[in-house]
Amino acid sequence: GAGVSQTPSNKVTEKGKYVELRCDPISGHTALYWYRQSLGQGPEFLIYFQGTGAADDSGLPNDRFFAVRPEGSVSTLKIQRTERGDSAVYLCASSPSGSYNEQFFGPGTRLTVL
């Protein structure tokens, strides 16, 4: 079956612009996660959805970052007024129900802010 997909695979933008990154989880997975991976580092947690609601958004670095999952499936990570420090690979993962289940990762979106 299809795995987690993310679009676009690469995004180049200019400082100050707005970007949206999309994640399509595995069908039927109720838990969805966003992580950010900087060069040479492990993924860092951003936000976790259980269904439509954000159950834990403690990893969002500031109020420029926002994520939604309006129908409990596809999720969009939105970044306003991008900064060069936002450049990273943004990873999405899903799992059947959260709570220690294996997380299945997408290929990521590489964001470059010039």
The piece of 18-26, 65-73, 79-87, 106-114 that touches another protein (CB under 8 A) is 106-114
Give least dist CB 60 to another protein, A: 12
Within residues 49-88, the interface with another protein by CB under 8 A covers 55-56, 59
Q: Which of 19, 21, 31, 54 binds another protein (CB under 8 A)?
A: 31
Contacts of 64 (CB under 8 A, 6+ apart): 79, 80, 81, 82, 83
Q: Which of 14, 63, 71, 102 binds another protein (CB under 8 A)?
A: 102
Spatial separation of the C-alpha atoms in residues 2 and 77, rounded to whole Å? 21
Spatial separation of the C-alpha atoms in residues 96 and 91, rounded to whole Å? 17
Q: Nearest CA to 50 among 98, 4, 15?
A: 98
Residues making contact with another protein (CB under 8 A): 3-4, 31, 33, 35, 40-45, 48, 55-56, 59, 91, 93, 98-100, 102-108
